[in-house]
Structure 1
Amino acid sequence: MEAYLRKHWAQANAEVVCRFYRTEARDERKLLQLTVAGIELWDDKQDAAQTVDLIPWSAVLGASESTASVRRRFIPSYRGDEVEEEQELVVFGCLPKAEMPQRAGVMGGLVALAGTVVSSLLPMTRSRGPDTEAGGCERVTVQWVFRFVGKDAAAVALRTVKAIRFLADPRVQQVDKEAVKEAQKALDAYGVMPSRHVRCLSEDGVLKWELGLNVVSVGLYAALKFMVVINPAGGAGNAQSTYEQTVAPVLEQANVDVETVITTHAGHATELLADLPLDKFDCVVAVGGDGLLSESKAIALPPCFVCLFCLILTVGLGDMCALTVLQGLMKRKDWQKAILQPLGVVPGGSGNGLSAALLARAGEHNEALNAAYSLAKGSTQELDLFSISNSQDEVMYGFLSLEWAFVANMDVASERFRYFGDSRFLIATVLQIFGLGRKSFPGRLRYLASDEDEPLPEKYHERKNSDAEAARPSCVCLEKDRQAQEEGDEAVAEKTGTWKELDGPFYMFWGMNVSHASADAHIAPPAAIDDGYFYMMLVSGPDFSRVGLSRLMMGIEDASHLDVDRVQLVRTRAFTLTASADDDLMCVDGEVFPGPEVKLEVHRGLGRVLSLPTRR
């Protein structure tokens, strides 16, 4: 970025009129300069002690010419002069909501959002600061309107739009200087922009603009291209409206090309991804829950009664759309390449565990706007996936969880109350705890023990080649353990690690590949998306009271459930879970998976996801 600025911006300042709206529209003259840190705005005077307003690149989505169409869609409260509108540009941003009242001048004042847009993007939520672990920072979209003045103002505005689009691109932050230099050589060879040098000096001699181009058109990169898969039945049926009202504007402002597909039937996303041409899209984004679940998930329940016990819980099926996308990738013959296709998730259904985990690790609130910002400004991250098989030789791949016992029954039972939206989990949980469902579940768990000081598992794509290179990921550790037990080979058994067994009855088994099952279910705080481990939150042994279960469930939002007596959080890479009853329900990422015996193994870094990096 430094090399780009030295070559194409060269300490240039452009005089601009900042248009922003507080109680009324008014103008403020500034000198605009693009720097490594962001867009700097200086007072139009020579004062060494003057305050500089900085719009950091992390807050900038992109920029656009100020046309009637752009103003109508994004700045409906615009009251500027439309004469010579070609001299004007709009900078689109997305800021932490908590920063808004703390910012003076440009950062605090250049907010040009109509009240109707604000209300749609800022739902009523609990007020939390940007650094609170539980909620993460809430965001708001903003627009800064700049009108250039002086000689060649229209040309300067156009070139500034192109430069801002390039510098705001998250890929610019990720390349090294040598890569930038090589890309610049290619640009020069193609002659993207003719070289010209123009200086505009004010009467007092202050340099207001120096144009030393080549300024790139879109930058060194082509525009990002996303495929967005929307399940209109997700959650309470608002997935499509959530995308159109909140996510789509952010992606457009960030100069992302989008191809949208609305699913029409069960398994549509799986079919779509099975035939998707690779390298066509930078990311495949899933919006909303599947909403078209197997009839096997319906179970008979007594009529609902008045709930006398209040329990806040959001767990469930909002990741089903992403799950069907994953199955489609893994069914391909070229799955080894296809699985590297970055995936994105937007909370549009109920549950939304993967979205909650990705946003929480980045310090973001679990809202659609934050997810859209994460997609626009994020980068490709490694994601652990797991394979799970049963005694019927059925194999499935997941990214979120395995549920059994209390939580699986609650999850499945909640389908009867889908009409109530997220409240369905509350209803199903209360019914399950207070006498209308089983409390204990006999079974056995055999798992590969993990020491706290052991090195992280080997990444899947870094393993040495083998004869089974083309085979899909499977439970290799479990197969070696089975062979060692059958053959009595102690040497093989020692290499596979230490295995432990735990007998039931079990009252709770909630296995997690990531930290969150939903925004309000922080099940496994130590879990990372790429550490190669699976985390089992379980309760077993002697009788566990319903009061204990209620305390456990009330604590999952802030992870205080781990302080409840007899609650364990066990880290492992592979395990076999055997339920004593053949009809016990098990759920993989919210979808019923037949038992009674399942084998699961984690494959570190097998998948890819588009997300913000972990907030250190």
Structure 2
Amino acid sequence: MEEKLPEAEAPQRRDAGRVLLYGEFAAAAGAKVRFAVSLTDTELAVQRVTAASASRTRVVHYLMDCVGCRAFRAEEDADPGAYFSAYFYPFRRRWMSSTGGRQRLELRFRVAAATAARDPQGNLREAERWALAIREGSARHRPHREGVVYGEVRRPCRLMLLVNPHSGRGQALCLFTSHIQHMLTEAGVTHTLIVTERQNHARELVREADLSQWDALVIISGDGLLFEVVNGLMERDDWEEAIQTPLGILPGGSGNALAASIHHYTGSPPGSSEDLLVSCGFLLCKGLVSRLDLVSVSLASGLRLFSFLSLAWGFVADVDIESEKYRYVGAARFTVGTLVRLASLRVYRGRLAYLPAEEPPPRCGASPQGHAPGFCSSLFCQKKASADQGAAHTFRNSCNSNNATKASRSEAPPAASGGPADSLLVPLEQPVPSHWTVVKEEDFVLVLAMYQSHLAEDLLAAPGASLEDGVMHLFYVKAGISRAALLRLFLAMEKGVHLAAGCPDLVYVKVLALRLEPLTPKGVITVDGEVVEYGPVQAQVHSGLARLIAG
């Protein structure tokens, strides 16, 4: 029988809501085992039909885990039945482990009503009715976080999918065909695959592309390819509209920091390699879009770049670049690079200044230009801090409003391409504003500004970060830290507990803008893991400027 039972007769659960569809189906032609299938607002429940109803086992599949459903005719012409297949990717923990990943599950049922044995079209219509209802239910239920504003990719969806064939261990294209391609088909997402041929190829493509043909731009690579895409969009004359194009990332490199961050934000246990790829593929198929902070980075030459992940100088930048030779080991390249660089630890002399996101009370007995540990709790210092904080708050508001001071507007560094004005910055050749915090000239081991949670797949550098928190998470370590202490710091970072480890050499602060002036003649500065011009650099957050497909 292929009839929808009256609601009073259809099995229901209080927490699942009203039954929308109910039917009994076989899994294949001629199969004697049949299943009772019911669809509610939130789940697809399957129960094997047996003579002893008390022994029935009911299995629930949540629509939140479903990416799509399709209806189709039987392959054999003699079979008048039709089928519908629903595709689920539920999260499964590994045995005796805190980790896990999403695993593919296909549920296929045969529709062949007794009254429609000679009506294959009627069977197909019924299968399509179920497939449509399941797809609509899946679309209503997407992974999301409370308090985050979302949109969604338009359906049917058309993706430009850019693949760097040399990314990581050179397996990005293979990872796509073996893990992602069928997921997109199951979700009904059409795509055009473009294999990049050289550095900045993706940057050139998106700079000139007719974006009206695409609902999203997705890369499968490391973070470097997305860096190209973001900057290509910001170099367009229509950058304000172009940067609203939803961006997606599928990890195919050795770093995969943004992909790991997205996975982390969903609340899932840590994942790596194929687990991380399938997780991001699942989110891509669900098509939920959130805002993404971008940071404008101004260099001494006048070049202005846009960054979505990090700005690094010293130890972190050295490891990132010097570990390129270990790409063949995948994500472990950073572990190898860290150990190599620890063996001959370098220090760099420079100046650092920043605008705190929240002004702290002044340090008792410390120079306003210093950064000594320990906050003062005296009434006098608290009152002064309150006044300073109010002044800084007023300055930030005025800089970000249409009534900004003439100096703030006229002296802001000009954009080398498109993009919003950097209202919190003054030209690099001028001193930073007086209300900024200045770290006196020091020897540093590292300076790192993070805007997302992960620095690599296994490095939870900024556990408090989110896609659009509107701040940079600034870390720096001064010279004097021992090799053993630095190693312990990075080991703690694997679990994101380094900030609670009590390391006296680590300073962490949330900032809206910063300036870094290296005084050591040689060194490396990276933006999103890419080497940039060495020299003075400054940056400012632009909250929620871009859009990212992320649950």
**TM-score, normalised relative to structure 1:** 0.69
Cα contact 1:538–1:567 (8 A) shared by 2: yes
Deviation string for 1:189-246 (max 9, x for gaps)? xxxxxxxxxxxxxxxxxxxxxxxxxxxxxxx974112111000000000000001100
Cα contact 2:143–2:266 (8 A) shared by 1: no
**Segment drifting more, 278-287 vs 328-337:** 278-287
1:568 maps to what in 2?
507
2:170 maps to what in 1?
237
Deviation, structure 1 residue 546: 1.6
Cα contact 1:523–1:537 (8 A) shared by 2: no
Cα contact 1:59–1:93 (8 A) shared by 2: yes
The letter for the 2-side match of 1:278 is L
Deviation, structure 1 residue 338: 0.3
Deviation, structure 1 residue 247: 0.9
**Segment drifting more, 585-594 vs 497-506:** 497-506
1:140 maps to what in 2?
103
1:345-384 correspondence to structure 2 within 5 Å: 345-364=249-268, 365-366=271-272, 367-384=276-293
Are residues 1:501 and 2:405 paired? no
**Matching residue within 457, 476, 479 for 1:519:** 457
Deviation, structure 1 residue 358: 0.6
Cα contact 1:94–1:142 (8 A) shared by 2: yes
**Matching residue within 540, 545, 548 for 1:609:** 548
**TM-score, normalised relative to structure 2:** 0.77
SS in 1 for 2:259: helix
1:325-336 correspondence to structure 2 within 5 Å: 325-336=229-240
**Matching residue within 138, 153, 171 for 1:168:** 138
**Matching residue within 338, 344, 352 for 1:445:** 352
| Separation in 1, partners of 2:206, 2:69 | 32
Deviation, structure 1 residue 85: 6.5
**Matching residue within 22, 31, 44 for 1:39:** 44
1:313 maps to what in 2?
none
| Separation in 1, partners of 2:403, 2:138 | 39
**Matching residue within 248, 265, 268 for 1:344:** 248
Cα contact 1:449–1:500 (8 A) shared by 2: no
Deviation string for 1:310-349 (max 9, x for gaps)? xxxxxxxx20011111111011000000001110001101
Are residues 1:257 and 2:214 paired? no
Cα contact 1:404–1:587 (8 A) shared by 2: yes
Deviation, structure 1 residue 427: 2.9
Deviation, structure 1 residue 558: 0.7
Q: Gaps (5+ residues) in structure 1?
A: 1-5, 70-80, 99-124, 130-134, 175-219, 289-317, 487-492
1:178-217 correspondence to structure 2 within 5 Å: none
| Separation in 2, partners of 1:97, 1:446 | 46
SS in 2 for 1:421: helix
Q: Alpha carbons of 1:441 and 1:221: their partners in 2 closer, same or farther (altered >3 Å)?
A: closer
Q: Alpha carbons of 1:282 and 1:86: their partners in 2 closer, same or farther (altered >3 Å)?
A: farther
Cα contact 1:320–1:590 (8 A) shared by 2: yes
Q: Alpha carbons of 1:583 and 1:611: their partners in 2 closer, same or farther (altered >3 Å)?
A: same
Cα contact 1:515–1:527 (8 A) shared by 2: yes
Q: Alpha carbons of 1:610 and 1:433: their partners in 2 closer, same or farther (altered >3 Å)?
A: same
Deviation, structure 1 residue 552: 1.7
| Separation in 2, partners of 1:337, 1:259 | 22
1:25-64 correspondence to structure 2 within 5 Å: 28-41=33-46, 52-64=58-70
The letter for the 2-side match of 1:415 is E
Q: Alpha carbons of 1:592 and 1:85: their partners in 2 closer, same or farther (altered >3 Å)?
A: farther
SS in 2 for 1:477: coil
2:420 maps to what in 1?
473
| Separation in 2, partners of 1:50, 1:144 | 18
Cα contact 1:65–1:86 (8 A) shared by 2: no
2:214 maps to what in 1?
281
Cα contact 1:445–1:578 (8 A) shared by 2: yes
Q: Alpha carbons of 1:67 and 1:350: their partners in 2 closer, same or farther (altered >3 Å)?
A: farther
The letter for the 1-side match of 2:226 is A
| Separation in 1, partners of 2:403, 2:206 | 27
Q: Alpha carbons of 1:465 and 1:319: their partners in 2 closer, same or farther (altered >3 Å)?
A: farther
Cα contact 1:17–1:148 (8 A) shared by 2: yes
Cα contact 1:391–1:597 (8 A) shared by 2: yes
| Separation in 1, partners of 2:522, 2:157 | 47
The letter for the 2-side match of 1:337 is E
| Separation in 2, partners of 1:543, 1:406 | 14
Cα contact 1:380–1:609 (8 A) shared by 2: yes
Q: Alpha carbons of 1:240 and 1:608: their partners in 2 closer, same or farther (altered >3 Å)?
A: same
The letter for the 1-side match of 2:282 is Y
1:3 maps to what in 2?
none
Q: Alpha carbons of 1:12 and 1:463: their partners in 2 closer, same or farther (altered >3 Å)?
A: farther
2:112 maps to what in 1?
149
1:75 maps to what in 2?
none
Cα contact 2:33–2:49 (8 A) shared by 1: no
Q: Alpha carbons of 1:604 and 1:128: their partners in 2 closer, same or farther (altered >3 Å)?
A: farther
2:24 maps to what in 1?
15
1:402-417 correspondence to structure 2 within 5 Å: 402-417=311-326
Cα contact 1:387–1:474 (8 A) shared by 2: no
| Separation in 2, partners of 1:255, 1:240 | 20
SS in 2 for 1:528: coil
1:112 maps to what in 2?
none
Cα contact 2:89–2:104 (8 A) shared by 1: yes
| Separation in 1, partners of 2:133, 2:512 | 47
Are residues 1:266 and 2:199 paired? yes
Cα contact 1:433–1:546 (8 A) shared by 2: yes
Q: Gaps (5+ residues) in structure 2?
A: 1-6, 8-17, 117-122, 145-152, 361-388
Deviation string for 1:113-159 (max 9, x for gaps)? xxxxxxxxxxxx99644xxxxx5x41100111111232343331132
Cα contact 2:428–2:538 (8 A) shared by 1: no
Deviation, structure 1 residue 480: 8.8
| Separation in 2, partners of 1:87, 1:31 | 17
2:4 maps to what in 1?
none
| Separation in 1, partners of 2:249, 2:541 | 21
Deviation string for 1:392-441 (max 9, x for gaps)? 11111110111111111111111233344334333322221112xx5211
Are residues 1:533 and 2:501 paired? no
SS in 2 for 1:446: strand
1:247 maps to what in 2?
180
Deviation, structure 1 residue 283: 1.5
| Separation in 1, partners of 2:204, 2:403 | 30
1:126-137 correspondence to structure 2 within 5 Å: 128-129=97-98, 135=99, 137=100
The letter for the 2-side match of 1:476 is S
1:120 maps to what in 2?
none
| Separation in 2, partners of 1:581, 1:481 | 17
Q: Alpha carbons of 1:86 and 1:149: their partners in 2 closer, same or farther (altered >3 Å)?
A: closer
Deviation string for 1:37-89 (max 9, x for gaps)? 122345669989987543221121111235678xxxxxxxxxxx995264222
Cα contact 2:20–2:41 (8 A) shared by 1: no
